[in-house]
Structure 1
């Protein structure tokens, strides 16, 4: 990768989980393609050998990014104090693992349960969620970790679907440290203008993920990824980037089902990573002359 950008590659592009025998080779390929970070799938802190994994990443010059989430009985948006406390505890455990792995960023969906929503999220639930997540974000900052929350499409949540809603969520959190994670895959569904959405979130934007409309290679699809890179840089974005794709041939069946990945948009993780790097480079190259 020629672009002087801090870019992360999602591990699930290569392997289904950390137990894969191909994990070392996948990490080698990610590092060789010029990525600085690797995004991990959701992990069970009790089932992870954090020191061994930390050494595996460090040996390749990669820094991990973790993913935090919620569950029906552990949900910070719940009206039940007990369920909210369980949700906050789940996030704190994810934060502990993040620190143990040597990571300085925790992504994910910390604001509620991932999955098809039963209906709209009430303002009260929105504010309960934001307050709890804001407290975790402040605790994460004190430990050297930036906490972000991903803005998802309407089929996966009703809490936060747009950049404008994300800015409202940050405001409701009361935290100066909580950051927004935008993803071009979700933006293509929910935003009328991706560039405008990036500008809206820019004051709190901590992670800009590049994903194609069909979940495949970044160079081919309805989203002009190179143009998004150019436009984000033009708007003044200086944060981290990520690339994400999913193929049923790579994911565990249960995960593929959860994410509604029914096809095989790509078959070679290394080829995907190289194509993504070239696409990002194209956006960078188009933008760089404007700095002179």
Structure 2
């Protein structure tokens, strides 16, 4: 199991300077892995990322959220095509960096929809994701679909919805990505979805109910980590938190970061690393007895 940190904890810019800075800070906070947000995989500086990862001895994963212009759940064939091209490039970037995990809201746009998905839109989404999974499989990469709240997608809001989607796409390297922030909004509890998705759970985001310091909100982390222990989960566990003090303005608006619960990301990151590792250590004592 690798304990990681989302790059947006450190910076909202992922030019060469931002890439190096985020890798350095992830290492200094004690994490094993950095998750890069590939907001524009076509311009991402892979060479700088590889150099920084090697220098600081970190593993890497990547994620993204599609926009309206790249929404693969659209009925507009040109939009779907643009989305597939972006996802193809993102998978290639992960492979070029030496990563094995690609995740996020990659099956629809990350936005507040005003209508449920259409049958044709879902068909388009599943067809694209099937092809993306095939491309990723050829590069040794797992793909995980992030289950997010109703204000950020109209396709996958619960673990069970993700399971149904996966059954239709049916690819061995395609799995579920659970996020405690979103689960706290949509799921009935923090234990059952982990058990429900046990066979296909590939990726985990750890975020508090208000996106701030872990343990200061109302997410039931005790039962969530107990569930991870119960299923023997050994994939990435990645801390995610946002503040407009760091995140780029457009992303702050999209994520609804209207109030900042932290300003010192070094303290925040070190705290999160210790919090996650302490929970995992505690759960092991239950498993042994």
Calculate the TM-score normalised by the size of structure 2. Answer: 0.93
Alignment of 1:139-158 (within 5 A): 139-158=135-154
The equivalent residue for 1:51 is 47
Q: Which ranges in structure 1 are unaligned for 5 or more consecutive residues? A: none
Alignment of 1:195-274 (within 5 A): 195-274=191-270
Calculate the TM-score normalised by the size of structure 1. Answer: 0.92
The equivalent residue for 2:2 is 6
Q: Distance in 1 between matches of 2:277 and 2:92?
A: 35
Q: Distance in 1 between matches of 2:65 and 2:282?
A: 37
The equivalent residue for 1:277 is 273
Q: Which ranges in structure 2 are unaligned for 5 or more consecutive residues? A: none
Q: CA deviation at 1:250?
A: 1.0
Q: Distance in 1 between matches of 2:65 and 2:259?
A: 25
- Of 87, 107, 112, the match for 1:111: 107
- Of 37, 42, 47, the match for 1:41: 37
Q: CA deviation at 1:36?
A: 1.3
Answer whether contact 1:69 1:91 (CA < 8 A) is retained.
Answer: no
> Aligned pair in 2 of structure 1 residues 254, 83: CA closer, same or farther (>3 Å)?
closer
Q: Distance in 2 between matches of 1:75 and 1:125?
A: 9
3-state SS of paired residue (1:248)? coil
> Aligned pair in 2 of structure 1 residues 139, 109: CA closer, same or farther (>3 Å)?
same
Q: CA deviation at 1:219?
A: 2.1
Deviation per CA, 1:6-32: give whole Å up to 9, x if none.
Answer: 111011111112238565454233213
Answer whether contact 1:209 1:244 (CA < 8 A) is retained.
Answer: yes
Q: Distance in 1 between matches of 2:220 and 2:98?
A: 34
Q: Distance in 1 between matches of 2:159 and 2:137?
A: 22
Q: CA deviation at 1:102?
A: 2.1
> Aligned pair in 2 of structure 1 residues 23, 190: CA closer, same or farther (>3 Å)?
same
Q: Distance in 1 between matches of 2:222 and 2:272?
A: 10
**1:78 correspondence with 2:70:** no
CA root-mean-square deviation = 1.9
The equivalent residue for 1:160 is 156
**1:90 correspondence with 2:86:** yes
